Amino acid sequence: MQKYRDQKMRRKHRLPERLLTHLFLIAASIAIGLPFFWMITTAIKGPTEVNIFPPIWWPEVVRFDNFVTAWQTAPFGRFYINSIITSSAGVVLEVTIAALSAYAFARIKIRFREVLFMVMLAAMMIPGQVALIPNYVVLKHLGWINKYQGIVIPHVSSVFGAFLLRQFFLSIPSSLYDAAELDGLGHLRTLFYICLPLARPVVGTLTLYLFIAKWNSYLWPLIVTNTQNMRTLPVGLSMVRQAEYAIGPEHLMAAAIFVIVPVLIVFFLAQKQLIEGIASGAVKG
């Protein structure tokens, strides 16, 4: 009885505090979400509703035709295709490369393995921005400027993914590996039939994370593409912006929405996995 009263007291005591917490969090969410809202509401305004002050929060007539106009200001269909191809190919290659290295470092014992592992980890300290010029020179020699492989290949080597998957492969009980060997599975088949299916959650998080990162990447595609039909969405969008005065802010926001919609869909569908993956240090930011 006494205990029950205590609990009830505590709950009563906590109610205002809980409300206050929610109030703060709602305020913070609005502050963070406001730019998204502003992007949407601008994108459906009419040309006269954009250029007034104080601005209006919601247009009188919702103008969806802004999206059509924005889509026509640049070859967005082509940008989409380019982005989908380069991001998907990049993710598939990088995950495969990561899995192969991870398996080697976890399961194949040779001399100097630790040294090689340290060499690989050292690559994590070298930022891609430092390598821009040499990479460009290499690509020019290969004739890969304005090619999909030029956008994709320099960024599919994997240190963190390999490290992450290796940790997971090490945690798989060795009896499973022994069973695989008894069944006559070689290394490659052990990796694809035993390790990867078990690592599905880790591989999934890694895949989504890499997809978003590649979809958003701007600097490298900007450097290696110089014709409009090879541009990815972020680069194409930034080029549209340079014609800002030809098209209104409502069209610009509509175009920005084209770019972020796929990313936001992926994020909100898998937000729990992605955030917790990052929080547990599973994915480097």
Partner 1 sequence: MKPSVKNTGKANNRDKDVSQPIQTATPQVVRLIKKTSRRQRRNIIAFSAFIAPNFILLSIFTFWPIFYSLYLSFFKWNMISPIKKFIGIQNYSSLMQDPIFWKVLKNTFYLAAGTVFIKLAIALMLALLLNRRMRGRNLYRAILFSPTFTTSVAVAMVWGWILDPTYGLFRVFINSIGLRSPNWLTDVHWALPAVIIVIIWRSLGYDMVFFLAGLQSIPKDLYDAAKVDGASRLQLFRYVTFPMLSPTTFFLTIVSVIGALKAFDIIAIMTDGGPLNSTNVFVLYLYQNAFEWFKTGYASAIALILFVLIMGITLIQTRLSKRWVHY
Q: Between residue 123 and residue 142, which ones bind partner 1 under the rule CB under 8 A?
A: 123, 125-138
- Angle among Cα 275, 129, 241 to the nearest 5 degrees reads 80
Among 7, 228, 229, 238, the residue binding partner 1 under the rule CB under 8 A is 238
Strands (E), 144-212: none
The per-residue DSSP string of 247-265 comes to S-HHHHHHHHHHHHHHHHH
Is the separation of the CB atoms in 232 and 79 below 8 Å?
Answer: yes
Q: How far is CA 239 from the centre of its chain?
A: 22
Closer Cβ to partner 1, 1 or 174, answer by number: 174
Query: Does 155 help bind partner 1 (rule: CB under 8 A)?
Result: yes
Closer Cβ to partner 1, 1 or 87, answer by number: 87
Among 63, 154, 165, 202, the residue binding partner 1 under the rule CB under 8 A is 154
Q: What is the dihedral of CA 67, 265, 59, 32, to 10 degrees?
A: -130
Q: How far is the CB of 86 from partner 1 (least distance, A)?
A: 14
Sorted by sequence, the CB contacts under 8 Å of residue 206 that are 6+ apart come out as 95, 98, 161, 164, 165, 277, 282, 283
Q: How far is CA 144 from the centre of its chain?
A: 24
Closer Cβ to partner 1, 74 or 106, answer by number: 106
Q: Which candidate, 49, 35, 74, places its Cα nearest to that of 248?
A: 49
Q: How far is the CB of 68 from partner 1 (least distance, A)?
A: 19
Q: How far is the CB of 154 from partner 1 (least distance, A)?
A: 4
Site for partner 1 in 66-105 (CB under 8 A): 96-98, 100-101, 103-105
Among 81, 85, 120, 185, the residue binding partner 1 under the rule CB under 8 A is 120
Is the separation of the CB atoms in 155 and 214 below 8 Å?
Answer: yes
Site for partner 1 in 185-214 (CB under 8 A): 187, 212
Closer Cβ to partner 1, 59 or 154, answer by number: 154
Closer Cβ to partner 1, 199 or 252, answer by number: 252
Site for partner 1 in 10-69 (CB under 8 A): 18, 21-22, 24-25, 28-29, 32-36, 38-39, 42, 50-55
Q: How far is the CB of 57 from partner 1 (least distance, A)?
A: 9
Among 74, 95, 237, 254, the residue binding partner 1 under the rule CB under 8 A is 237
Closer Cβ to partner 1, 85 or 93, answer by number: 93
Among 2, 10, 13, 114, the residue binding partner 1 under the rule CB under 8 A is 114
Distance CA 226, CA 219 (A): 13
Q: Which candidate, 284, 44, 55, 11, places its Cα nearest to that of 161?
A: 284
Closer Cβ to partner 1, 206 or 233, answer by number: 233
Closer Cβ to partner 1, 1 or 35, answer by number: 35
Angle formed by the axes of helices 160-171 and 200-216, nearest 10°: 170
Q: Which candidate, 282, 108, 123, places its Cα nearest to that of 195?
A: 108
Q: How far is the CB of 178 from partner 1 (least distance, A)?
A: 8
